[in-house]
Structure 1
Amino acid sequence: MSYISVGDKYIPHTNRPFNESAYRSRQMQAGIAKQRCALQNGFFDKTFNRIFERSYYGTLSGPVEAMSPLSVPRKAHRPPGRNIVTSPPKKGSGYSYPNVTLSKIELYASDPYGRAKEALKREATVHRSKLRGGPFKLNLHPSDYFQGNPYRTDKPLPPANKPVPPGQKVSPVPFKPPSPSKKIGGMKAGTFDTYPSHSADPYIIRRSKKSNQEPVFRPAPGPKSTPVKSIIAVNVNRSVHSANYTSAIPTVMTV
């Protein structure tokens, strides 16, 4: 039973040729395939070279020239001279011991009273003599507010409010409406506002068509699809019908 056509003979893929056009008319032949042999015709080199141990063939550096086993001649050995003879160092670290370090001990010399204060006063006098004019002051420097206290005002304050005299006592009884609230019905009688009036739809302006304007092109619809029976259903109806129904389909259960 075929899934593509009705009544066609099925040909399996094993019986079909791989290239049907190769069996028809003459074909272009590129030449005879070469056979394996032990000759050097299939290689670029004229001679066959082999890579043995310690051979430079096939390397990137190429051949290496032979090296002599003799060592490189060197200069005659000259022993170093004697060290400089110095006096032995003194023992101890030298801390709190006089005449032990390289320098001599410093002699004590007293300073005049108030020497640092007089030197600072002298430097301040020299600095003041070099000044010209007072320090530069900018009145437009940025500030957080227009003044130090933003709530300060120069206007006089208004007179103080007089205490309000005690008024009449209000009745503590709550307000009660004369009638209970109405429920919302179909006529909207329980609301505060009346039923809203119906608003007319906006007027649509119809534009006049031009006399020389062509109608809009509308292509004709194509053919519509119709229900088609499948190939399997057609094959089943042809092979199995009322005449051979009992013989075509084997019985499953027998009494």
Structure 2
Amino acid sequence: MTITYRFYEGPEDLQSQINFWITATKKLPFAWKPTLSPNQFIEQQQFHPKSRCFAFDGDQLIGYMSFTGSSEFVSLGYPWVISGYEGKVQDELYNRIYGFAVSETFGAKMFAQRFDWTQQIEYFLSKGFTVTRRSALLASSLGKKVKTHDVEVEEGFDFDVWKTNVKKYDDTSDEQFAMMREYYGSVDFDFSIAFAGGGYVGVTIRQDTGYAEILAVACHPNAQNFSNMVEIVIGECKKRDVKLVSIASLHVPLKDSLERLGFTEQTEDVMMMKKSDPTE
């Protein structure tokens, strides 16, 4: 086989990237909804065509890899390929994308990515990434007996409302809020709920698989009613044909348990990071 590689050429490549990712991850457990970051990045000053690379076998797209971010911080994607092209093609994609990111042209200083899947985690470990955070991922399948509630639901997500709620209970720094604003700004939230007694959550749903993530949470660290809040979120998810919903354990107050709602530990949500090394 003769494999050819090229960098980004236009909007059609972006759509091809998104479609490829959806297909590649559809059967992976807990695969989240595509983010907005690729579309946002191509509109930013820092964007460069060499931030995304595509691999072809003849005319067939067989893989791609990309990154988004700035010279200070880069979200480095995984080299996704179709079955049968693992290994050499992935490494070639990685070398081209990582190599450009650390070059003098772009000058990336720090890389990060989160995964729930062993194969992807092991690949990044082999490239010098280290695990900086592990959080159990709790999940519950939604059956027919899920209660629904009449609550005020906001389409999308309001970062400032989330921030206001967090500041009531946490001493999060301005720098951390700035990073979270950028991160949550790349997430395609479906809905959010502000609770009368305090607390705010944002949820994203991947429609083709019926998988939802309770992704943004602001509540008192010792909230006794957290399971009631999640029950309301689950009810809204049920209305939207969600089949499985998850939440990272780091969002769950220590004194609260979601077991009564059917949540059990399924896997780990792993954050990985690496400092730039242009000599690699």
Q: TM-score range by the shorter chain?
A: under 0.3
Which structure shows the bigger proportion of residues in helix conformation?
Answer: 2
Larger of the two Rg values belongs to structure: 1
When normalised by structure 1's length, the TM-score is: 0.09
When normalised by structure 2's length, the TM-score is: 0.09
Which structure shows the bigger proportion of residues in strand conformation?
Answer: 2
Q: Which structure is higher in RCO with an 8 Å CA cutoff and minimum separation 6?
A: 1
